[in-house]
Amino acid sequence: MLRREFLNGLGLSIGASLLVPNAVLTASPKATVGNGSIQPGDWAALRNMFPLTRKYIQLSTFLLASHPKPVSDAIEKHRLAFDENPSDYWHQHFQTIDRDISTIAAQYMGGKAENIALTDSTTMGLGVVYSGLKLQPSDEVLQTVHDHYSTDMSLAHRANRTGARVNRIALYDDPAKVSVNDVLKRMKAGITSNTRVFVATWVHSSTGVKLPIRAMADSINKLNQQRKTHQQILFCVDGVHGFGIENQDISELGCDFFIAGTHKWIFGPRGTGIIWGNDKAWSQNEPVIPSFSASYDVWMGGMTQDQVSVGEHMSPGGFHSFEHRWALPEAFKLHMQLGKANVQKRIHELNQQTKQGLAKMAHVKLYTPASNELSSGLVCFDVQGMKPEAVVKTMHEKGIIMSNTPYRVSYARFAPSLLNNEQEIEIALAEIQAIA
The CATH number given to whatever domain includes residue 374 is 3.90.1150.10
Residue 73 domain flag:
no
Nearest partner of 261 among 197, 325, 309, 312, judged by Cα? 325
Three-point CA angle 322, 323, 327, nearest 5° = 105
In total, the chain counts a number of residues equal to 436
**Residue 301 shares a structural domain with residue 324:** yes
**Residue 260 shares a structural domain with residue 385:** no
**Is the pTM value of this prediction over 0.85?**
yes
For residues 227 and 305, what is the distance between their CA atoms, to the nearest angstrom? Answer: 30
Residue 80 domain flag:
no
**Residue 14 shares a structural domain with residue 127:** no
Residues in Cβ contact with 226 at an 8 Å cutoff, skipping those fewer than 6 apart: none
**Residue 303 shares a structural domain with residue 199:** yes
Which domain-ending residue is among 291, 308, 334? 334
Residue 81 domain flag:
no
The CATH number given to whatever domain includes residue 206 is 3.40.640.10
Residue 78 domain flag:
no
Residue 302 domain flag:
yes
Residues in Cβ contact with 172 at an 8 Å cutoff, skipping those fewer than 6 apart: 178, 179, 182, 183, 186, 209
The DSSP letter of residue 30 is P
- Would you say the C-alpha torsion 40, 44, 47, 49 has a positive or negative sign? negative
- In this prediction, residue 36 carries a pLDDT of 61
**Residue 105 shares a structural domain with residue 158:** yes
**Residue 23 shares a structural domain with residue 94:** no
Residue 65 domain flag:
no
Tens of pLDDT, residues 355-399:
999 999 999 999 999 999 999 999 999 999 999 999 999 999 999
**Residue 25 shares a structural domain with residue 134:** no
**Residue 127 shares a structural domain with residue 264:** yes
**Does the structure show a pLDDT above 50 at 1?**
no
Three-point CA angle 42, 44, 50, nearest 5° = 110
- Identify whether the C-beta of residue 217 lies closer than 8 Å to the C-beta of residue 237: no
Helix (H) or strand (E) holding 436: none
- For all residues of the chain together, what is the average pLDDT? 92
- In this prediction, residue 95 carries a pLDDT of 83
Domain count, the chain: 2
**Residue 173 shares a structural domain with residue 280:** yes
**Residue 298 shares a structural domain with residue 175:** yes
Residue 15 domain flag:
yes
**Residue 132 shares a structural domain with residue 27:** no
**Boundaries of domain holding 273:** 86-334
Tens of pLDDT, residues 119-142:
999 999 999 999 999 999 999 999
Residue 317 domain flag:
yes
DSSP 412-432: EEE---TT--HHHHHHHHHHH
In this predicted model, which residue has the larger pLDDT, 1 or 226? 226
**Residue 221 shares a structural domain with residue 346:** no
